[in-house]
Amino acid sequence: MRFAIATGGYHKPGETFVNRHIEHLFGGDTVVIANKLNGSNPYARPMIRRSRQGFGAADLWQQPLASVVGKWRYGATSVPYGETRRALEVFLRAERVQAILCEFGPEAVALAPVAGAMGLPIFSYFRGYDASKDLRKPRNVRALRATMPRLAGVFAVSQFLLDNLARHGITHPHSHVIPSGVATARFVPGDKQPGSFLAVGRLIDKKAPDITLRAFLAGAGDHPQARLDIVGDGPMLEPLRQRVAAAGMGARVTLHGALPHEEVREMLARAQVFVQHSLTDAKGNTEGLPTSIQEALSSGCIVLSTRHAGIPEAVIEGETGYLVAERDEAGFAALIRGVLDGSLPTEDMAGRARALAVERFDNGRLLALLEERLLALMPA
């Protein structure tokens, strides 16, 4: 079964879920359609762009007409047209593509008309911003509503995202929750260091690393053995470093910046507690179900996080971790303090976290489940 994997940009090292599908779906019998090609093709797959590559003479009159037609017929102006569309159709036929899996909703909006005209089944996978922040724009809602009837099926990494789409009138009769998953055979518990806390992720508003840091400073103040490692890069890195220095906590809090995935895996194996205060940012952007939390559970970490997006679908309160409401900084500090002083029960929590990850988030099992669902939704 040969699938085209459609994504916004290829190859992005951080998009492990997309890259895993490109590398492994149906034995790796895949090709790539990307809005932007980033010059790297580690899986040696046939590739093509779905967007214009410069303006030719024909574009001077085709582009305005195509935009009007696209908006009228499909609710979007991103549908390929002219030479770009013809090249895409030639590519799909030459590569004997049998179906298209769109990673993120915007790719489905752009490619559903092309797939329909060619008689190719097309599916969409929602993962976060495409079922949260993007829905704040009425035109995106209209485009997704118009796209749903053209799809053979819909997938999302959490039930939260499907529910959020439904609240905007965007539904499909064949919708399934399949998390991205992690390599549970590689993310395994190691020798846990008591009092070790770890945060991993982009240092952006949605991850709220500033709340995580302040909560740790407040909750761990009376426990000198506690340490916090923060891994990730982003616009909040320097302000966080300044706060650590101002608090005189440089010996207990380390901001590592971005690290190779292998080093992060080793840190997760040793960490006792994983902390992530995810929230809905000012633009409405949310998580889907953070891969970092799935990796932490697989590594046997106690997880402290928030009742946000799909996180409660993975962190079972009192069983594999504890949750607070978004922006409840005092409550988050209390969780950290409770783990350190023993007032929060954590016995056997690491083992339960590992068991849950193996049962529900193993990427090998989830890939097989995705293949099974895709085949079941293919036309007879």
Helix 349-360 with 291-298: angle, nearest 10 deg: 120
| Separation in Å, CA 321 to CA 43, 99, 315, 341 | 37, 40, 6, 16
CA distance 270 to 21: 29
Of 239, 367, 353, 249, nearest in space to 295 by CA = 353
pTM of the predicted protein model = 0.91
Protein fold of 3-181+362-377: Rossmann fold (3.40.50)
Written as six digits, the tokens of 132 are: 């949260």
Contact by Cβ (8 Å): 228, 256: no
CA distance 152 to 133: 24
pLDDT for res 55? 47
CA distance 25 to 13: 17
Cα 359 from chain centroid? 20
SS3 at position 148: helix
pLDDT (tens, 9 = 90+) of the chain, 380 residues, equals: 999 999 999 998 888 899 999 999 999 999 999 999 988 899 999 999 998 754 455 555 555 555 555 554 656 668 888 888 999 999 999 999 999 999 999 999 999 999 999 999 999 999 999 999 999 999 999 999 999 999 999 999 999 999 999 999 999 999 999 999 999 999 999 999 999 999 999 999 999 999 999 999 999 999 999 999 999 999 999 999 999 999 999 999 999 999 999 999 999 999 999 999 999 999 999 999 999 999 999 999 999 999 999 999 999 999 999 999 999 999 999 999 999 999 999 999 999 999 999 999 999 999 999 999 999 999 98
CA distance 71 to 121: 22
pLDDT for res 255? 98
pLDDT for res 75? 60
SS3 at position 193: strand
Which residue matches tokens 């489905």?
A: 108
The Cα angle at residue 354 between residues 349 and 356, in degrees rounded to 5: 95
Q: How do 253-257 and 227-231 pair as beta strands?
A: parallel
CA distance 213 to 238: 13
pLDDT for res 373? 98
Provide Rg for the chain, Cα atoms.
Answer: 22
CA distance 4 to 170: 24
Q: CATH 3.40.50.2000 residue ranges in the chain?
A: 3-181+362-377, 193-360
CATH class of this structure's domain 193-360: alpha beta
Contact by Cβ (8 Å): 323, 312: yes
The DSSP-derived string for 237-251 is HHHHHHHHHHTT-TT
